[in-house]
Amino acid sequence: MKLVHKITLGNTLGIICIILVAAFSYHEFDILLAKLRFVEIADNLNASFLKMRLAEKNYFLYKDKSALQEIREQLKKSYATIKKLRKDITKAIGEKNFQELQADLRAYEEAFELVENADVLHTSGGARGKAIREAGRRLRLFSEHIVKIERKSVNKIISASKRALLTFFGLTILVAITSSYLFFSRMFKNLRRIERTANAVSKGEFVKIKGPIPDNELGSAMNAINKMCEELMTRHEQLIQSKKLSSIGILTAGVAHELGNPLNNISMVAQTFMEVHESLSPEERLEYMNIILQETKRIKEIVQNLLDFSRPKKRDFKISDINHLIEHSLVLVQNMLHVSRIRPKLELQDNLPPVFIDEDKMQSVFVNLITNAIQAMSAGGVLTLRTKYDEKEDPDRIIVQISDTGKGIPAEFLSNIFDPFFSTKGTEGTGLGLSISYGIIKNHKGEIEVESEVGVGTTFTIKLPIYREKEGKDGRQENHGNR
């Protein structure tokens, strides 16, 4: 079910509950009001009845004829009230009780009329006096009885409503908490999966979201992220290639210079030879030709290095000597070192255990780090390339360090420098070199770290797992499967 549907359903159920409670409360209050209204009417009637009985007493005790007038008036008033408020009264006490009340009133009236129409004054002890007193008593008893019942019923309704509302309130809170918990815990779980992947991607590890993908908006987002990861993986490969090409761009000036010199040497030797060959001894002629051969060899080496560096190669993991690879990388940047007047210093430990690496990719990491180091230093700087292996300290890995004596990286940038598109070189850097290097090292199951102090220099430390005979085949498969 889609999230928007779940939320709509939840809201609709909530609204229905509120409407039900409102209807229930409205109904209860309606009854309550009717009952209260009746209690009010009944109080008025009771007052009239009381007055009738008082007049009745006066008539019998003091033979006061005007008392009969009072009873007649109160009777009239009571009839008027009953007639006028019949609807309200029946609503509260029902038709049966209403009829009984009316009958009692009529009985009283009849008894009263007998007394009223008689010529003689009646005593309270007489038959007519007894009848009227009995009817009056019954009328009051009944009306007081129903008032009592109604008061009780009002109390009952109020406490029942209170209970119902409290129960509903409790249930609502319970349902809201349970459903929110179920709803949000699943949502947050999925959001956390997305977060983990996003973090991995920002570190250059393009892993897809694993496990079942829910069929809702989060699922759509997960599918989009997975597609993005696939796309990034492809782009990453392309970027490595393009970064290499841009490194070649940086190297081009140097290479042009490198090639220009031996070409010029050959040309000048040839020109001079042609000019002076007659006066040269056979040894001197051989020397001239040797210079040409040497310079040709020099050109061939430069071209070969460039080809090795630029040619897109298939993933090619092999057992390799890291010292040899570092020396080879240094040749590629020789001219940059010359031009920038940076002194390279090699501190390579002898007899390093072999590593199982893609030499082409590892070389691009070294060239990238060395290029960065050269760019960070001014003339006279020292570039140190160091390799170490200490069986006691870390029996499984060798260490490669590339240190410069450059301007250093401010502490606030250190945590970002492996992020894609992060560059401290302004418009000159693509911000991809270190990110790609990071990816390559990770792909070799290695680690790359940086330490830096502003004004003192920067050291990159790479830790690479050493090659072990029995693990070789496994390592090969793992490495191939990665990217």
Partner 1 sequence: MEGKRIMVIDDENIVGKMIKVSFERDGYIVETFVHADPAMKRLSEEKFDLVITDLKMKDIDGMEVLKRIKKESPETKVIMITAYASMDTSIEAFREKADDFFPKPIKISDLKERVATLLGG
User: Applying CB under 8 A, which residues contact partner 1?
Assistant: 253, 256-257, 259-261, 263-269, 271-272, 275-276, 291, 295, 338-339, 341
Cα torsion through 171, 176, 182, 186, rounded to 10:
180
Closest distance between partner 1 and the C-beta of residue 293, in Å?
Answer: 13
What is the rounded CA–CA span in Å between residue 150 and residue 39?
7
Nearer to partner 1, 335 or 435 (CB): 335
Which helix (H) or strand (E) covers residue 290, if one does? Answer: helix 282-310
- Our CA angle for 291, 294, 297, nearest 5°, is 150
- The answer to whether 129 and 21 are in contact (CB under 8 A) is no
Closest distance between partner 1 and the C-beta of residue 283, in Å?
Answer: 15
What is the rounded CA–CA span in Å between residue 3 and residue 95?
55
Nearer to partner 1, 4 or 276 (CB): 276
> Residue 57 corresponds to which tokens in the numbers above?
């007493």
Q: Spell out the residues 6+ positions from residue 366 whose beta carbon is closer than 8 angstroms to its own.
A: 325, 326, 329, 400, 402
User: Could you tell me which of 293, 433, 288, 404 has the C-alpha nearest to residue 345?
Assistant: 404
Nearer to partner 1, 324 or 341 (CB): 341
What is the rounded CA–CA span in Å between residue 451 and residue 468?
30
Closest distance between partner 1 and the C-beta of residue 254, in Å?
Answer: 8
- The answer to whether 172 and 21 are in contact (CB under 8 A) is no
Q: Spell out the residues 6+ positions from residue 53 whose beta carbon is closer than 8 angstroms to its own.
A: 136, 140
- The answer to whether 55 and 163 are in contact (CB under 8 A) is no
Which helix (H) or strand (E) covers residue 385, if one does? Answer: strand 382-388
Closest distance between partner 1 and the C-beta of residue 382, in Å?
Answer: 15
Nearer to partner 1, 85 or 336 (CB): 336
Nearer to partner 1, 258 or 359 (CB): 258
Closest distance between partner 1 and the C-beta of residue 297, in Å?
Answer: 14
Closest distance between partner 1 and the C-beta of residue 271, in Å?
Answer: 5
Closest distance between partner 1 and the C-beta of residue 426, in Å?
Answer: 21
- The answer to whether 439 and 445 are in contact (CB under 8 A) is no
Closest distance between partner 1 and the C-beta of residue 278, in Å?
Answer: 11
Nearer to partner 1, 224 or 268 (CB): 268
User: Could you tell me which of 296, 303, 216, 312 has the C-alpha nearest to residue 262?
Assistant: 296
Nearer to partner 1, 137 or 341 (CB): 341
Q: Spell out the residues 6+ positions from residue 261 whose beta carbon is closer than 8 angstroms to its own.
A: none
Strand pairing class (355-358; 397-403): unpaired
User: Could you tell me which of 78, 106, 97 has the C-alpha nearest to residue 145?
Assistant: 97
User: Could you tell me which of 19, 161, 162, 153 has the C-alpha nearest to residue 91?
Assistant: 153
Closest distance between partner 1 and the C-beta of residue 274, in Å?
Answer: 9
Nearer to partner 1, 288 or 389 (CB): 288
Nearer to partner 1, 237 or 301 (CB): 301
Nearer to partner 1, 93 or 377 (CB): 377
Closest distance between partner 1 and the C-beta of residue 289, in Å?
Answer: 13
Closest distance between partner 1 and the C-beta of residue 455, in Å?
Answer: 25
**CB-CB neighbours of 151 under 10 Å:** 14
Q: Which amino acid is present at 420?
A: P
Nearer to partner 1, 276 or 454 (CB): 276
- The answer to whether 444 and 358 are in contact (CB under 8 A) is yes
What is the rounded CA–CA span in Å between residue 197 and residue 216?
18
Closest distance between partner 1 and the C-beta of residue 260, in Å?
Answer: 3
DSSP 118: -
Nearer to partner 1, 224 or 276 (CB): 276
Name residue, tokens 């990388």: 329
